[in-house]
Every structure is written in structure tokens, then in C-alpha cells.
Amino acid sequence: MTQTLAYLQNLLAIPSPTGFTTEVMDYVQETLESLDYEVQRTPKGMAVVRVNGQDNEQHRIVTAHVDTLGAIVRGIKPDGRLKLDRIGGFPWNMIEGENCTVHVASTGEQITGTIMIHQTSCHVYKDAGSAERNQDNMEVRLDAKVTNEDETRKLGIDVGDFISFDPRTTVTETGFVKSRFLDDKVSAAVLLNLLRQYKEEGTQLPQTTHFIFSCIEETGLGANSSLHENAVEYLAIDMGAIGDDQQTDEYTVSICTKDASGPYNYEFRQHLVGLAKAHEIPYQLDIYPYYGSDASAAMSAGAEVKHALLGAGIESSHSYERTHLDSIVATEQLVDAYLKSDLVK
């Protein structure tokens, strides 16, 4: 997993809330071009690599997304702190106390800060612990000497500036990877490493396959407008959700049977299960009740494909996430087995 982990750490280090993804997409493109792949950048900013297979009549799509949760400046308060609006779906309490960076559009500078509830001090505010965390009372405390709105505006900060959260990436000696945004940079790292292996080993896949690195998934848009007309299968590689009543864990690959959009294609799902069994890849089947993927967005847009979803098991999704190298290995093995397999019957 050395190279996959290196790709993952590089991706995690690049701020990329949805709508502010040029730098991370440039990294993806430059990495792929260094491997001698031709990369197409779509008008929406996605990176697409076509790998010709033995069969050029029926194509496959595989996606992973590199955009993340984040925030945007909604306003500047009289005391110089910032009001927020969320990018992506997460409760406010999941970012309380998080260090962040304001990306100032007018100057190109970066100003750090911390996301806090307004009534933070328990020595001053009686409801510091009980107050609802919401858009009205969450704010950014800037690491700058500002005491009023005018001083903050003199820094160049304005409504619409993007705010990224510190990933705090840690790899433990026991094999756990802790970080924000493992959803879905784990999957992107897996695809980058598989593409590296295929190029170095001269692997020819059975089907022409389009690898799409999406950058608008967290807002529900997905990679649904760049599908080749010959595509018949669509595999989204994203996180597996862990929690009560879930089978998904941090040590296997999770195969999704249904999410909030409805069931995934049964034959495709069983094809993946068969591959996992044949290759002795540890897996779990699961339902993600409050979830959507690039593949489900494509189906909503009318794509005429079989669709499936799998991914590494991610603990504490959309918060400070964690997975284990075992899960990343299992995910990479199953994606590899699928890409080398025949079409779903």
C-alpha cells in the first residue's frame, strides 16, 4: 500500500471543498500525465482518462471524487468574525473547534482560523454547552488582529471566499488512517495506484474503461454528464458507511445494496460479490440509508447503465474520519478484480 498511501496523503493535503477544486484536479492530471496517460478536463472541471480495452464496443465507467465538505463566507460580523454557509451535508457540531483556512479570492492569500460557536466560554455563557449549533451562532475566529468588520475587510476577505477544514491526517503504527476527507480521497488514491500499475505492467483491460475523477459529488451533482455513449456499466467507488445496524467495518470492502436513491443493480452487485469470493477478498454487504453517490446521480440524470457502489469502510463519516489499511487493500483488490473481469451478465 506504499504508493496508494502516498497518493492519499498528497490528496488529503490539498484543500478541495466543492467549487474550489482546481488545485487538486491539477494534481490528479499531473500525476496521470506523468504516467503517460492522456487526460481530458471537462468544462465542469473533472478529469477523465480513457483506457482502451480488448472490447471497444461496450464501455465501463469508474468514478471517485476528490471534492470535499467545506464552507464559504456568508458574511462578516460586527466583531470581525465570519458567518458561514456549509458546502456539503454535515451537522454543524461536526466542525466545531476545527482549524480552518480562509482562501481570500481578492488577494490569493490564505488566512487561518478556528470554527467556533459564538457563545464558547462556559465562564461567560450559561448555554455554552446546550446551545444549538446552527448557522446563526457558528463563526470563524480569525488568526488575525481584527476587532470589527472594517478591519476584517481590509484583509481582503469578502462574502464568497472558500473555507477549508484542516484534514489532520495521521497514520498510526497499527494501520489506522485518521483524517477528514477520507471520503472520498481514499478511492481516488486507489484509482491512481491501479492506473499506475496497469501502465507499468502493460495490463490490457477486457473492456474500454473511462476513469472519472469527479469534483462536484458532495453537492449531489456527480459525474453524470460526461458518460460515453457506449457505457453499459457504472461503478462508483466511494466510502462505506459505518454505524448502528451497519455491517460495514474498517477492515473489509463494503458493497452497497441500497442507498437513499434506491437499490443498486442486483446483477452488478452479485457480480462484485462473486469476485470477492473468488479472490478471497473480505467484504460486507450493506445499506447506506442517508447517502447518494456519483452513480446514483447518473441514474437520476437518466444514464442507461448498470450501476454499483463499493468502497472502504469509513468510521465517523463527514466528521473526523478513520479507516484501516486492510479496508483500503480490500477495496483496491476488488476494484482491480472487477476491471479485469468480464461484463456483468
**Residues with a known catalytic role:** 217
DSSP lists the bridge partners of residue 128 as none
Q: Point out which residues pair with 284 in neighbouring strands.
A: 254
183 is in an annotated binding site: yes
Alpha carbon of residue 145 to chain centroid: 34
33 is in an annotated binding site: no
Q: Which of 4, 19, 11 is nearest to 221 (CA)?
A: 19
Instruction: Judge contact between 179 and 98, C-beta under 8 A.
Output: no
123: CB partners within 8 A, 6+ apart = none
Is 218 flagged in the annotation as binding? yes
Q: Annotated binding residue at 271? A: no
Maximum pairwise Cα distance, the chain: 69
Q: Is 65 annotated as a binding residue?
A: yes
d(CA 199, CA 21): 26
Burial class, 203, CB count within 10 angstroms (exposed 0-12 / middle 13-18 / buried 19+) = middle
Do β-strands 82-87 and 138-142 pair in parallel, antiparallel, or remain unpaired?
Answer: antiparallel
Phi-psi region of 97 (alpha: psi -120 to 50; beta: other; left: phi over 0): left
- Nearest Cα to 136, choosing from 75, 69, 218? 75
Which cell numbers in the block locate residue 101?
Answer: 483556512
Annotated binding site for Zn(2+): 65, 183, 218, 238, 318
List binding-site positions: 65, 183, 218, 238, 318
